[in-house]
Amino acid sequence: MAEKLNLKKTNELYEEALTLVPGAVAGIRRPYNFVPGEYPIFFESAKGGKVIDVDGNEYLDMLCAYGPIIIGHREEEIDDAVIKQIKEKGFCFSLTQTYQNTLVKRLKEIIPSCEMAAFVKTGSDATTTAVRISRAYTNRVKVLRCGYHGWHDWCVEVKGGIPTKFYEDVYEFEYNDLDQVKDLMKEHGKDVACIMITPLGHPLANDVEMPKPGFLEGLKEIAEQYGSVLVFDEIRTGFRVDMGGAQKLFGVTPHVSVFGKAIANGWPIGVVAGREDIMKTLEKDVFLSSTFFPNSDAQVAALTTIDFLEKNKVIDVIVEKGNAFADRVNDIITKSGVPATFSGGPWMPFITFDKDEKGLYKQLRVEFYTQLIRRNVFLQPYHHGYICYRHTDEDLVKATDMIAESFEVVRKKYLV
């Protein structure tokens, strides 16, 4: 049985933070999203594929900042390029620097849907911009959506502080359920501005899903039948499942797509990319402006990250490592006899526990992730993880060894 981690300092900082910041830390980073009392709450530093908490515990970081760390923490080639930009030229100006043009030209080479692009800072900024330009382009209001698209009023799951009218024209549908989309469009199609979907299904606390044959193609056909805009939310899949995103991998080009996270290895940038006639609504019909959207630090980071991804064949490396990891974990689960499922391989590994009427799966989940964090593997109980370039083969073999040990504890405690 692994010993409980020393988390004295992290708990002290948490108690202090409760008096300073509502909820102590932001949203999904709060303790109830992990195993309270077992996971650290504050990190101190990171390098490569490892992260260290404020108590000095080191972990294999398989959450990767919820996705932006595609290469590794503190990647010198990228950070040095940004530091050089800051020191030699600056990055925040009243007018735009030329890196904007350079980056869009690179994106046009890589992303199938990109004829023009606009830059924002976050994924929520990008998805909301995509909705706004879709509404302006079609002169319609309604939106069909599938997946997590951020924290803005039109899409956030927690509705506190948001008037009903801000989301009453937004309709959700289930991933891989084309019949549901057809029914919604029969009822609302003439008023639907856009259909937005994460092209890879990754609902919170549920298995990661691949699209069924014909699902994404069917969505595009339906969107075009009704004159709606098809938007792919590629915030997680972009520059991870393929350099050109899931649209390139699956061979379905949306009318508009949004990117973020992995494009700049942790530096904050979001991208809205799409067909020229749709994107041109931003010229005068749609207002998009922010003090920080044009900043060149993240644009330089994105350009350097893209170069690194290409010259080191990072996506291929991650797929190879991720597939080996997935094979080992699936083998471990089968041999353990624990009712669990592995999904998301090779890019977004997730271990979930099969639901049962008595709710035993909740206890199995808590026990498993308690044992795993005690063995210094940082994964999230309710959110898929990620494989990054700097995760070594040895790191991932050790992680699977720790996963096997954790399953064995679960088996002996609950299933024998």
At a CB cut-off of 8 Å and minimum separation 6, what does 45 contact? 51, 52
The residue among 21, 62, 44 whose CA lies nearest residue 378 is 62
Residues 132-145: tens digit of each pLDDT = 999 999 999 999 99
* pLDDT at 402 (0 to 100): 98
Tell me the average pLDDT of the chain. 97
Tell me the CATH number for domain 8-73+313-415.
Answer: 3.90.1150.10
Residues in the chain, pLDDT under 70: none
Q: In the chain, what are the domain boundaries? A: 8-73+313-415, 76-311
Q: For the chain, first and last CA: distance in Å?
A: 16
Residues 172-213: tens digit of each pLDDT = 999 999 999 999 999 999 999 999 999 999 988 899 999 999
- In one-letter notation, the amino acid at residue 269 is I
Q: Is the peptide bond before 346 cis (omega within 30 degrees of 0)?
A: yes
Whole-number Å distance between alpha carbons of 145 and 235: 15
Alpha helices in 171-275 (DSSP H): 178-188, 215-226, 246-250
* pLDDT at 190 (0 to 100): 98
Residues 288-320: tens digit of each pLDDT = 999 999 999 999 999 999 999 999 999 999 999
* pLDDT at 203 (0 to 100): 86
Tokens in use for 28? 């999904």
* pLDDT at 60 (0 to 100): 98
Q: Tokens 């004829």 map to which residue?
A: 115
Tell me the CATH number for domain 76-311.
Answer: 3.40.640.10
* pLDDT at 307 (0 to 100): 98
- In one-letter notation, the amino acid at residue 322 is G
